[in-house]
Amino acid sequence: MRVGVVVVAGGRGSRVGADQPKQLLAIAGRSILQRSVDAFDDDRFCERVVVLPADYVNDASTLLPALATAWRFVAGGARRQDSVEAGVAALSADVDVVLVHDAARPFVSRALITRVIDRAAATGAAVPALAAVETVKHIDLATMTVRATVPRQEVWLAQTPQGFRRTVLSAAFAHNKSHDAGGDVTDEGMLAERAGFPVTIVPGDAANMKMTTAEDIARAQGPRAPRVGTGYDLHRMVEGRPLVLAGVSIPFERGPLGHSDGDVLCHSLTDALLGAAGAGDIGKHFPNTDPAWKGAPGLDLLERAVAIVHAAGFQPASADITIILERPKLLPHIDAMRADVARVLGVDLSAVSIKGKTNEGVDAVGRGEAIAAHAVAVLTARGDA
């Protein structure tokens, strides 16, 4: 038995709202089209055809790199049935069974494909379908009122691939041509039914979802992994400078020297946020050669970093900062600093940790000549929290 497959990607996918056809959008690094084609890229099929929008046919090898078997690329038509007919016409006359698959279903399983091939060969036309789980209402569209409740067990939701003996599919196309009412045919099973052929159902697969809306694609992409960044900062401690950490003034005779206010807590955390977002570092966004940042409060830089994080599609989830300072004791000020940081990050107080440590008298920090800080920030994708 010679089995051919036609993967139909002729549509522009206007319902998704992206500026490229939806089948070219990626899920986990592989386009929907590539995934759908890969499912049929093996020697169960003697001939394989992809129907593409006409202006994409010349780019087929770029859109579908590294195919294991030979595929033919065909330009689609105005309506679905025109695209499918063009694809089927590209198959040799001696193909016995034809599978037609919608490229918007990238998660089709090998087992489902085998069920459809076997059943189509046996009965002439086979459609995978899922039983309706909701109560089904037949409605009057003009008034949006219910005409009747349809017995649910008689309602099944069709998927693809749909399989046909070549003779059945050709006769169905011919019948449709002579009776074309001008409307869209939404699946090939419908063509076969109209032509009077019995169409049998095989069990579909809930995972074989159709990617119709941007939400479908976002759901299939799943939540993005959290992102982590680290930051470090150090400033010399000198006489006559105020000691301010995260907006909290700490009484002491010395403070950090710097172009800005020398707030190592905010600076290290700013670098951690920018690092987690893959958005560079504090020197790139707030260079100390720019007079705009002279004396800039650390909390202001932190607030700007949060805006950069948001623009990159992320939001802060938590932060952990260690301040290394010989004197004074930070403990009385920790909660005030945490509250400031939590407010600027837009997170719960419990998501911000600030710890003070001494350097045990070792090195410049231990001699009180400098203050240092380490920070770790965690980001989640915006909307995932």
Residues binding Mg ion (CB under 5 A): 233, 267
Residue 326 has what DSSP assignment? S
Q: Which residue is nearest to Mg ion (CB)?
A: 267
Q: How far is the CB of 223 from Mg ion (least distance, A)?
A: 34
Least Cβ distance, residue 256 to Mg ion (angstroms): 8
Structure token digits, residue 274: 């920018």
Report d(CA 377, CA 269) in Å as an integer.
Answer: 7
Quote the least distance from Cβ 298 to Mg ion, whole Å.
8
Query: Cα(210)–Cα(356) distance, rounded to whole angstroms?
Result: 54
Nearer to Mg ion, 188 or 233 (CB): 233
Identity of the residue numbered 379: L
Rounded (5°) CA angle 36-225-246: 155
Whose Cβ is closer to Mg ion: residue 23's or residue 260's? 260
The pairing of strands 352-357 and 314-324 is parallel
| Closest distance to Mg ion from the beta carbon of 267 (Å) | 4
Nearer to Mg ion, 48 or 267 (CB): 267
Q: Which residue, 369, 322, 371, 318, is CA-closest to 345?
A: 318
Alpha carbon separation from 275 to 231, 272, 321 (Å, rounded): 8, 5, 15
Cβ distance to Mg ion smaller for residue 185 or 302: 302
Beta strands 72-75 and 97-102 are unpaired
Q: Kindly give the residue spans of alpha helices, DSSP state H, lying in 179-294.
A: 188-194, 214-221, 264-276, 282-285
Q: Which of 76, 123, 125 is nearest to 103 (CA)?
A: 76
Q: Provide the 8-state DSSP code for 331.
A: G
Cβ proximity to Mg ion: between 149 and 288 the closer is 288
Query: Which is nearer to Mg ion, 198 or 287 (by Cβ)?
Result: 287
When the beta carbons of 267 and 338 are compared against Mg ion, the nearer one is: 267
CB of 373 to Mg ion, least distance (A): 9
Smallest separation (angstroms) from Mg ion to the CB of 257: 10
Residue closer to Mg ion (CB basis): 13 or 275:
275
Residue closer to Mg ion by CB (options 41, 233) is: 233
The least distance separating Mg ion from the CB of residue 222, rounded to whole angstroms, comes to 37
- Sequence letter at residue 78: A
Determine the Cα–Cα distance for residues 154 and 373; give it in Å rounded to an integer.
Answer: 67
DSSP secondary structure string for all residues of 232-245: EEEEEEEET--EEE
Minimum CB distance to Mg ion, residue 324 (Å):
14
Closest-CA residue to 98 (of 174, 2, 191, 4): 4
Residues 6+ apart with CB under 8 A from 42: 68, 69
* Closest approach of Mg ion to the CB of residue 67, in Å: 53
